[in-house]
């Protein structure tokens, strides 16, 4: 496979939503040897996870609208066109939980749910 950030259908990013990012950083850093770098270009604090000098995922504080949910890991799959994939998910019996939305400096994403109830984030990254 080529670059997962450019390949339609490739898993490309993993993200932790949690109430306590510093505690999660300590736990996963000690457990897996991950390093972290701070990013704030999206308007909120974000910890990029690094392994072997590569950015592999991120951690962020869960937004207020999901405050009742337990912390969770989410996965992103690269798609050529987020809007088309969201519409196709609906036509195949799925749901769109988060409508296609811009992430400044990153790209456009949506969260879909398959007919069995599993969720997945799809994303079209901005060209680099």
Rounded to an integer, what distance in angstroms lies between the CA atom of residue 69 and that of residue 116? 19
**pLDDT tens column, 87-117:** 999 999 999 999 999 998 899 999 999 999 9
State mean pLDDT over 15-41: 93
Q: Given pLDDT bands bounded at 50, 70 and 90, which one contains residue 41?
A: low
Look at residue 67 in the predicted model and tell me its pLDDT.
76
CATH code of the region 11-125: 3.10.180.10
Q: Residue range 17-27: average pLDDT?
A: 94
Element (H, E) at 15: strand 11-18
Provide the whole-model pTM. Answer: 0.86
**Ramachandran assignment for 95, one of left (phi > 0), alpha (psi -120 to 50 degrees), beta (any other):** beta
CA gyration radius for the chain? 15
What is the secondary structure of 67-86 as a DSSP string?
Answer: TTSPPEEEEEEE-S-HHHHH
d(CA 72, CA 60): 11
Sole residue written with tokens 């196709």:
88
Query: What mean pLDDT comes out for the span 75-81?
Result: 97
Residue 74 and residue 59 in contact, taking contact as beta carbons nearer than 8 Å? no
**Would the pLDDT of 1 be above 60?**
no
Q: What is the domain partition of the chain in residue ranges?
A: 11-125
Cross-strand bridge partners of residue 124: 108
């Amino acid at each position: 496979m080529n670059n997962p950030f450019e390949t339609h259908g490739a898993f490309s990013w993993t993200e932790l939503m949690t109430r306590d990012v510093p505690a999660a950083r300590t736990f996963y850093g000690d457990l897996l040897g991950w390093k972290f770098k701070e990013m704030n270009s999206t308007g909120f604090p974000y910890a990029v996870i690094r392994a072997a000098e590569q950015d592999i995922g991120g951690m962020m504080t869960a937004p207020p609208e999901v405050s009742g949910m337990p912390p969770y890991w989410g996965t992103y799959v690269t798609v050529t066109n987020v809007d088309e994939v969201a519409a196709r998910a609906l036509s195949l019996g799925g749901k769109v939980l988060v409508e296609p939305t811009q992430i400044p400096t990153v790209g456009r994403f949506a969260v879909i749910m398959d007919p069995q109830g599993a969720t997945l984030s799809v994303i079209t990254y901005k060209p680099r």
